[in-house]
Amino acid sequence: MSHRTLALALIPLLAPAALATDWTVAPGGSIQSAINAATHGDRILIQPGTYAERIDLQGKQLVVLGVAGPASTIVDAAGLGNTVVTARAIPGTGARVEGLTLRNGAGKPFPSSYGYDYYGGGVFADGGTKLLVRNCVIASNGIGTGTFAGGVYAGGGGTEVDCERCIVRNNYAWASGGASLADYAAITRFRSCTILGNGSTNFFGHQGGVSMANDGDSVIEDSIVWGNSGNQIDSFGYPYNWGTSAAVTYSLVQGGYPGLGNLNADPLFANPAQGDFSLLPGSPAIDAGNPASPLDPDGTRADMGARPSGPACVTPTVFCAGKTDSAGCVPTLTSTGTPSLSGPDNFALSAANLLNGKYGLLVWSTQPAALPFSGGTLCVQPPYARGVMQESGGSPAGADCTGSFSLQLPQSLFLQSGFSAGQMLHVQYLYRDPGFPIGENIGLSPALRFSICP
């Protein structure tokens, strides 16, 4: 039986339905036009460039993804008199905005005694929407117009905006929440974010950073909140502060804030004037995040903030033993090349010393595991993604250890999955082993851990 390798079928983590469609938008095209044509579960894949528009998710569970990350993929709403991203009445979970810079939004206009109040310059969510904003830069919104929430606004019961690995900086709100506002029983969450240099100038509370009003709540973890005008984290003034709360843990907050693991010390950013918010050696935020959070790309305890310290690339290493199969084979898993978003597209995996003539597949996840499975150890955390079936080849008859799998993981897979530089992945092969009884008849390779390089 000859050895053969099948092409990889990409199934993203937490994937939408199987019939979902990818819509690619290139410079000169319209992100909004793609959103208008899309349906629940589709992905909008935005190529590097600057897009002069504002976007409305139209109540759909979509993934809007800048495939090359926020440094090179910008949505600029200058002069359009509205917020950059609007997410209203999106049912359930699944809406995600990732890998974009969102800038120069005015906010969502609502008539008021002042003419108009503007809410959420960068992101506006209401109507029970649950929105994930990941690896985005939300900057320079609300300037000259913002009234509430220069950066991120969440309003109304059931509305939840989760920000992960985001930088929220230099946004402005006159009344409250230069960075964000959770309003009317909504929730904002910041995990591994950097919130810096946002402003509010109103005497009625002066919440230049993270704000809450009218039973709204904020949750902040593994983050840095620094250099915002007025109060870093606070509620709007009485009586609008009724029922509000902020739960802050393992975060560095200027002036300090009550909560487990919180710090008050200069975070020592590398070069904030040039937009580099990585941490210098000696920063108190290094290895100071929640011990239960995923490890940083360098394999150490989580840092606080959106840009961890240490190398952006971690050499692939075996971290979990494989299962000796029914023929006494001890499988191996190795790699060649570099997993990267640029440079040579040459990263490949090879599993060897496997049973011959058996089918198997690669599974991968952003989180490791050590779960008892089929008489061995499942080393990647469900829910995981997987490739298509491959055949191990090797000897044409009998049972021996001549089987193997090989598979290239191209840059297009990393980009279209929304992985960013520094993202840690964990991979393992599963394959049939009929020599064991049912319940233990799955072979397991060792697992490999690696991070994606720039």
Report the distance separating Cα 308 and Cα 286, nearest Å: 7
Over the Cα atoms of the chain, what is R_g? 24
The confidence band for 311, taking pLDDT boundaries of 50, 70 and 90, is: low
| Closest to 433 in 3D by CA, of 357, 377, 364 | 357
> How much is the pLDDT for 203?
63
pLDDT of residue 97: 97
What is the C-alpha separation between 124 and 122, in angstroms, rounded?
7
- Which distant-in-sequence residues (6+ apart) come within 8 Å of 283 by Cβ? 267, 268, 269, 303, 309
pLDDT tens-digit profile of 171-225? Answer: 999 989 999 999 999 999 999 999 999 999 876 768 899 999 999 999 999 999 9
pLDDT of residue 252: 98
Q: Is 48 helix (H, G, I), strand (E, B) or coil?
A: coil
Beta bridge partners of 351: 333, 405
Q: Is pLDDT of 337 > 70? A: yes
The predicted pLDDT at position 18 comes to 43
What pLDDT does residue 45 have?
92
Mean pLDDT, the chain, rounded, equals: 90
- pLDDT confidence of 9, banded at 50, 70, 90? very low
Task: Report how far residue 180's alpha carbon sits from residue 149's, in angstroms, rounded to the nearest whole number.
Answer: 5
* Encoded amino acid at 267, one letter: P
pLDDT at 317 over 50: yes
Mean pLDDT throughout 128-156?
Answer: 95
- Beta strand 85-88 with 55-56: parallel, antiparallel or unpaired? parallel
Encoded tokens for 180: 């964000």
Lowest mean pLDDT among 169-178, 227-236, 301-310: 301-310
> Is the pLDDT reported for residue 314 higher than 50?
yes
Mean pLDDT of 76-104: 96
Q: What is the mean pLDDT of residues 22-43?
A: 95
pLDDT beyond 60 at 7: no
* CA dist., res. 362 & res. 380, Å (int): 11
State the Cα angle at 421 between 417 and 423, rounded to 5°.
65
Residue 422 gets the label, from left (phi > 0), alpha (psi -120 to 50) or beta, of left
Predicted pLDDT at 398: 85
- Kindly indicate the confidence band of residue 312, based on its pLDDT and cuts at 50, 70 and 90: low
pLDDT in tens, 92-141: 888 999 999 999 999 999 998 888 999 999 999 999 999 999 999 999 99
Q: Indicate the pLDDT class of residue 246, thresholds 50, 70 and 90.
A: very high
What pLDDT score was predicted for residue 120?
97
| C-alpha closest to that of 289 among 266, 308, 276 | 308
Tens digits of residue pLDDT in 423-436: 789 999 999 999 99
Domains of the chain: 22-279 (2.160.20.10), 317-451 (2.60.40)
- Which range in 183-192, 238-247, 407-416 is most confidently predicted, on average pLDDT? 183-192
The amino acid sitting at 446 is P
Instruction: Give the pLDDT score at 10.
Output: 34
Rounded CA separation 72/68 (Å)? 7
With 0.95 as the threshold, say if the pTM is over it.
no
- Which two tokens mark 36? 């208008």
Tens-place pLDDT, residues 272-301: 888 889 899 899 999 999 999 988 877 789
Higher per-residue pLDDT: 334 or 417 = 334
Average pLDDT, integer, range 132-153: 95
Q: What are phi and psi of 123, to 5 degrees?
A: -135, 130
- DSSP assigned state of 302: P
DSSP 172: B
Nearest alpha-carbon partner for 450 in 343, 297, 332:
297
Long-range contacts of 433-438 (CB under 8 A, 24+ apart): 433/325, 433/326, 433/355, 433/358, 434/326, 435/325, 435/326, 435/327, 435/355, 435/399, 436/325, 436/326, 436/374, 436/375
